[in-house]
Structure 1
Amino acid sequence: MDVHTFTYEELYRGGTPMGRNMPWDLRAPQPAVVALADAGAFTGEVLDVGCGLGDNSAFLASRGLHVTGLDIAPSAVELARDRAPGVTFAVADATKLEGYEGRFDTVLDSTLYHCLTEDQRREYLAALTRATRPGTRLHLFAFSSELPASFPAPYSISEANLRETVGRDWTIEKLEPTVYTTSMTPEELRQIARALLDEEPADLASLATDADGRVLVPVWYLTAVRR
């Protein structure tokens, strides 16, 4: 069984071995996003692209920002609207972003980039360039190539890939390794990996956990400014 065979609509409807508990659904904002907000990283019109269930969008809106959360899965957008009725959510294809030209001042990509194929990544960055203004700041988190081989992820991303793809129209100011908080305990992660791989995922023991026992995964954090 391959994680690539599932659509995100299937994931949010619970039609996969993950069930209805998404590994990224903390029912709270991602701690890495909270840290960025505390540092004043978000200004103006904010795009939360690949917003999922909308907790990051709702958090940023609670800080007084005007936020638009976009996701390709209608079920995710419906659930996000239920969780945060005062926030703007819509269904959209991140590789096109039609109807959003020249609109945003800050973009949050909280682990969307690594869900796309190489061709889709190029289309996505071109769409982001069209949807933003010169000087817009991008904050991007993507699974890194330090992920264990058996971790159930669409793709892992190299530093070179980010520099080449994002660097085409954006000036990269920071690109560094960090960790990203999941909703999974180590045992929950092993159960998902076993269901997908049909074998015991021994290499997952290398992943750290936070104080609440949630698995932390290695990611890149990139910030860049649109030229």
Structure 2
Amino acid sequence: VGTKTLEVGCDQGEATRRLVARGCAVLAVDKAADRMRTARDAAPGATFLVCDVLCEPDRVEGKYSSVFVDINGSRAYDTVLKCVRWAERRWPAALVVVKSSEAMRMHFPGAIEVSAPA
């Protein structure tokens, strides 16, 4: 892929690992420093930043062609939406991908949630 990718909510690095494996230059952000240690081990090719983007949005620097938002798939919809709007304002041309169980239920009530194979 080769794109500069911002991942908001990297948790333990599962998606981070997949993005790096596909050639993305990833900045993985999460507010939980303890989870970040596991993510660093999972995706050594990524760059990591401990930060809560909703409280410290200016700490995230750079230009990105894609932004992945996964701030806990069960997080309240208004919080997810706030994060998505922040990403859209900062990088208007970027592809923004969102993981949110509540958003899926609200906008696609008949949808079935599935997990991608590792």
- Fold conserved (TM > 0.5)? yes
Structure scoring higher RCO (CA < 8 A, sep ≥ 6) equals 2
Correspondent of 1:141 among 99, 102, 109: 99
Q: How does 1:37-116 map to 2 (within 5 A)?
A: 44-95=3-54, 96-101=56-61, 103-110=63-70, 112=72, 114-116=74-76
- Report if aligned partners of 2:17, 2:43 keep a CA contact under 8 Å in 1: yes
Q: Which runs of 5+ in 2 are unaligned?
A: none
User: Structure 1 or 2: larger strand share?
Assistant: 1
Q: Which residue identity lines up with residue 44 of structure 2 in the other structure?
A: P
Per the alignment, in what secondary structure is the counterpart of residue 158 of structure 1? helix
Is the contact between residue 74 and residue 101 of structure 2 (CA under 8 Å) also seen in structure 1?
yes
Name the SS of the counterpart of 1:104 in structure 2.
Answer: coil
Contact 1:48 1:109 in 2 (8 A): yes
Q: Secondary structure at the match of 1:180?
A: coil
Give the drift of 1:76: 0.7
What is the CA–CA distance in structure 1 between the aligned matches of 2:61 and 2:49, rounded to whole Å?
15
Instruction: Write the letter of the residue equivalent to 2:43.
Output: A
2:96 aligned partner, one-letter code: L
Larger radius of gyration: 1
Equivalent residues of 2:88, 2:96 under 8 A apart: no
TM-score, structure 2 normalization: 0.74
Indicate yes or no: 2:100 matched with 1:180. Answer: no
Matches within 5 A, 1:145-160: 157-159=105-107
The structural deviation recorded for 1:177 is: 2.9
Contact 1:43/1:106, CA 8 A, preserved across alignment: no
Matched-pair contact (CA < 8 Å) for 1:104–1:131: no
Long gaps (5+) in structure 1: 1-41, 146-155, 161-175, 183-209, 211-227
Q: Give the total of aligned pairs.
A: 115
- Counterpart of 2:69 in structure 1: which amino acid? D
TM-score by length of 1: 0.42
Query: How far, CA to CA, are the matches of 1:180 and 1:111 in structure 2?
Result: 18
